């Protein structure tokens, strides 16, 4: 299973970006919960948002709630995160990840350890 994230870049504070992550390989995309995580410079990786395999359930970190929206298109094997009202503290490498284990039990995880597959990351830089 391969995950490819793209859409990062440089944006001014208050601006928007949409990240995309496409999943390929021997996987049924629609059976995985998908998550976005980020790693700010010098800090540990942290949860951003997650969406259930069906797209019916979502979860967000408090720091992005109301500004970021996660969505998925199972026909295109792609998950998105729309990032609005960006702040300099949103600067990070953003990673997408796939989680099968919690999908099976119909819940969503915010823990990195629960995600089986990871993309390579895409850099988002928000200037003040």
Give the model confidence (pLDDT) of 66-81 as tens digits: 999 999 999 999 999 9
pLDDT in tens, 12-42: 999 999 999 999 987 688 899 999 999 999 9
Q: What does the alpha-carbon distance between residue 121 and residue 128 come to, in Å, rounded to a whole number?
A: 22
Q: Which pLDDT value is given to residue 102?
A: 87
Please give the backbone phi and psi of residue 27, each rounded to the nearest 5 degrees, phi first. Answer: -150, 145
From residue 110, give the alpha-carbon distance in Å to each of 16, 37, 60, 113.
23, 9, 8, 9
Q: What does the alpha-carbon distance between residue 73 and residue 64 come to, in Å, rounded to a whole number?
A: 21
Q: Which pLDDT value is given to residue 1?
A: 84
Any idea what DSSP says for residue 114?
A: G
| pLDDT beyond 90 at 61 | yes
């Amino acid at each position: 299973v391969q995950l490819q994230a793209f859409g990062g870049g440089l944006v001014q504070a208050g601006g928007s970006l949409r990240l995309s992550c496409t999943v390929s390989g021997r996987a049924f995309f629609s059976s995985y919960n998908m998550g976005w995580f980020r790693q700010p410079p010098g800090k540990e990786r942290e949860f951003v948002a997650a969406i259930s395999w069906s797209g019916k359930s979502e979860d967000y970190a408090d720091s992005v709630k109301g500004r970021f929206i996660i969505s998925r298109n199972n026909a295109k094997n792609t998950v998105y995160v729309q990032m609005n009202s960006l702040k300099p503290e949103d600067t990070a490498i953003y990673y997408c990840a796939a989680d099968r284990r919690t999908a099976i039990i119909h819940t969503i995880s915010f823990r990195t350890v629960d995600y089986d597959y990871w993309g390579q990351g895409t850099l988002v830089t928000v200037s003040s």
